[in-house]
Amino acid sequence: MLQQQPLTGNGPSNGRGLGMSGHPGMHALNSVHHPSQRRSDGGDSGLEGTENGHENRRDIGDILQQIMTITDQSLDEAQAKLVLTLIVFIFQLCSLSMRNAQEDEPQDPQLVRLDNMLLAEGVAGPEKGGGAAAAVSAATSSGGMSPDSSLEHSDYKSKLSQIRSIYHTELEKYEQACTEFTTHVMNLLREQSRTRPVTPREIERMVGIIHRKFSTIQTQLKQSTCEAVMILRSRFLDARRKRRNFSKQATEGLNEYFYSHLSNPYPSEEAKEELAKQCGITVSQVSNWFGNKRIRYKKNIGKFQEEANLYAMKTALGGPQGNDSPHTPNSTGSGSFSLSGSADLFLGVPPVNGEQSAYQMGVQANGNWHGRNSPPSGASPHSDHSENSD
DNA sequence: CCACATGATTCTTG
DNA sequence: CAAGAATCATGTGG
């Protein structure tokens, strides 16, 4: 299931994808997972007051969230103060009922995990470092596509940096809001202390509660970010399977090499690099191509004879038309017609009556790279192919 | 829409 | 680890 989502490129909002291209604001990430909207999949349980059934902690969170949204909008001081007073009052109530809630912060392991992941993804780390690139290469380590796929690569990177910037903005915002809020609460408490005794302990507890609350919110932010990164990553990985045919030029270049080295179609690392450059593809693509080609050629030699002839001819003629003639080593510079001389050049001269086909001889002569396994029984190697190159 | 071609991935092997 | 083999998924032509 979960077959290959549409993901037809650049759809900013396909599926439930990171809707970040829209507003780089506070709500972009939250759209993925809004802190105030509870999800009931066990995923983030444990972040909020599940213990002792202190449901009101969650309510406080909601209220806080709302307040923060409100204060984000322009509200004049007086109103804001009023609201804050109210909040403080609620907090006081809350702190009464939470008397024996855990006072210390056990450094939630989940939070640590989130932090680690964000760091690994290069989201939380230092600015614009190689973090993103590292993450990508780690993600694709098995694939073996190094400096390539620059298309998806850059796409991924830009998306990741979007996430990162949103994350940082949000984090900063929360932090700022937290200190602001704390200050306000302190001020209010100070004011209250004129009319009633306010113990330092109470203040301390207040601050503690506020910080915990904000850190919960931050955790949720981190979680949302992680989710976004995961989605992005899985999509990126899926996208790798997207296939596009090589250009005609590329195929020609590869075929030329292949057929001119038919006796040993295993390009060295250098040759691969050269081919890759020449064909505008990557080294691993060259490897893939040769892997596929060898096996498919071997599987059904007959099918490739025409092609073989064609390229053998091309090579023999030293390149047909102004095509980029590769620096294929020893490009059979011998005469135009005597096609038998060169070692590598094999000419698929198909069976001229019982005679072994020339290409087979050629291959055999120079080391049979496919181990001369019994060609698949069914694959009648010398099918009719009467005509051949003129 | 189907069949085949083809690039990519995954698993096995030596 | 590279090559082979099987398989997947998309591209393409009829």
Report pLDDT digits (tens) over A242-285: 788 999 999 999 999 999 999 899 999 999 999 999 999 999 99
How far is the CA of A295 from the CAs of A106, A172, A258, A304, in angstroms? Answer: 58, 56, 12, 12
Write down the pLDDT at residue A109.
81
Write down the pLDDT at residue A86.
67
Per-residue pLDDT of A298-349, as tens digits, reads 988 888 888 888 888 777 776 544 343 344 443 333 322 233 333 344 444 4
Specify the nucleotide whose C1' lies closest to residue A281 (CA): B7
The CA-CA-CA angle for residues A116, A117, A119, to 5°, reads 65
Å separating the CA of residue A8 from the C1' of nucleotide C11:
15
Specify the nucleotide whose C1' lies closest to residue A266 (CA): C3
Å separating the CA of residue A45 from the C1' of nucleotide C12:
50
Residue nearest to nucleotide C4 (CA to C1'): A295
- Rounded to the nearest 10°, the torsion over CA A59, A62, A63, A64 is 120
Answer whether any strand B atom is within 7 A of the Cβ of A303.
Answer: yes
| Largest interatomic CA distance in chain A | 115
Between A181 and A108, the more confident residue is: A181
Nucleotides of C under 7 A from a protein CB: 2-7, 9-12
pLDDT above 90 coverage of chain A, percent: 15
- Say if residues A235 and A5 touch (Cβ distance below 8 Å): yes
Question: How many whole angstroms separate alpha carbon A293 and alpha carbon A287?
Answer: 10
- How many Cα atoms are found within 13 Å in the side-chain-facing hemisphere of A136? 26
What's the rounded mean pLDDT across residues A380-387?
A: 38
Specify the nucleotide whose C1' lies closest to residue A285 (CA): B7
Confidence of residue A370 (pLDDT cuts 50, 70, 90): low
Question: How many whole angstroms separate alpha carbon A327 and alpha carbon A271?
Answer: 10
- Say if residues A308 and A346 touch (Cβ distance below 8 Å): yes
Between A79 and A371, the more confident residue is: A79
How far is the CA of A62 from the CAs of A109, A178, A217, A369, in angstroms? Answer: 24, 15, 10, 70
Per-residue pLDDT of A201-257, as tens digits, reads 888 888 888 998 898 898 999 988 887 777 776 666 555 567 889 999 999 999 999
